[in-house]
Structure 1
Amino acid sequence: MSPLACSLLALAALFAVSNAKNVHIPNPFCDERMRGIEGDSSEHFKMTVSGGVVNIPDNCTRLGRKLVGEDVSVCNAPYSKPLLRSVFGLSNKFGILGIDCPTNTNGCMTLELDVTQHCKMDVPLVRG
């Protein structure tokens, strides 16, 4: 194949990839966890944490709303991939998770946790 044909083929492949819809290429230095369901609104925030057990504040629950799901991701680029895990005995509880990232690894003391909490209206029915 001629150099021009190779270049055109490579350009066509790049164009096809750039136009692909909903393509999620995972970052090799990140881990993510999704729990629960989608709500009718969401709260998004970031926290700086280190490895170990992390308590995430509930920014959804207030009068008339409750927390029904959360998406959490943590990255340690370009050093290593921290691992999100459930905390023993609290695997279904929102807001508590473990992060395995050795403290002797660069970046593990200041990890950025990206949190999206899914909220749902929770208004009790009034019967009269």
Structure 2
Amino acid sequence: MSPLACSLLALTTLFAVSDAEKVGVPNPFCDGRMKGTEGDSVINFEMTVSGGVVTIPDKCSRVGKELVGENVNTCNTSNSKPLFRSILGLENNFGIIGIDCPTNTIGCMALKLKVMQHCKSILPPVRG
């Protein structure tokens, strides 16, 4: 395929993905996982990661709360879909996730991982 044809195909794919997201169709180049339950507050942050085993810091415990749930997702738009997988023996642990994304695929070395940690208060309410 000629370089011009490759460029046109890539551009068409980007427009198709962009239009699909506008009408609520899931991006075919994204994956995500939810572990645990919802809490009484959430902390959102992003990390730049590559494929493989990723360790996510627990940001709930820093503010007097405990981590009760974790929602993570990432995309590699128009290149290759990264796939989340469980790490054997650590399926229910928060903060550890496996991401299958070939290192020789464009974008896999710098995936933007979006993390939403669900926190629950561990301190008793103040009575006044």
Whole-angstrom CA distance in 2 between matches of 1:43 and 1:63: 10
Deviation at 1:124, TM superposition (A): 6.0
- Say which structure is richer in helix: 2
1:55 match? 55
- In our comparison, the structure showing a higher alpha carbon Rg is 1
Whole-angstrom CA distance in 2 between matches of 1:110 and 1:30: 14
Q: Number of aligned residue pairs: give it.
A: 104
1:27 aligns with 2:1: no
Whole-angstrom CA distance in 2 between matches of 1:95 and 1:35: 10
Gaps of 5+ in 2: 1-21
Deviations 1:3-60 (A, max 9, x none): xxxxxxxxxxxxxxx8xxxx85311000010111110001000000000000000000
- Paired residue secondary structure (2:61): coil
| Alignment RMSD | 1.8
1:89 aligns with 2:113: no
- Paired residue secondary structure (2:66): strand
Whole-angstrom CA distance in 1 between matches of 2:58 and 2:34: 15
Deviations 1:94-124 (A, max 9, x none): 0000000000111000000000000001136
4+ residue stretches of structure 1 with deviation over 4 A?
A: none
Gaps of 5+ in 1: 1-17
Q: Could you tell me the percent identity over the aligned residues?
A: 64
1:101 aligns with 2:110: no
Report the TM-score when normalising by structure 2.
Answer: 0.76
- Paired residue secondary structure (1:62): helix
- Paired residue secondary structure (2:46): strand
What pairs up with 1:34-45 in 2 under 5 angstroms?
A: 34-45=34-45
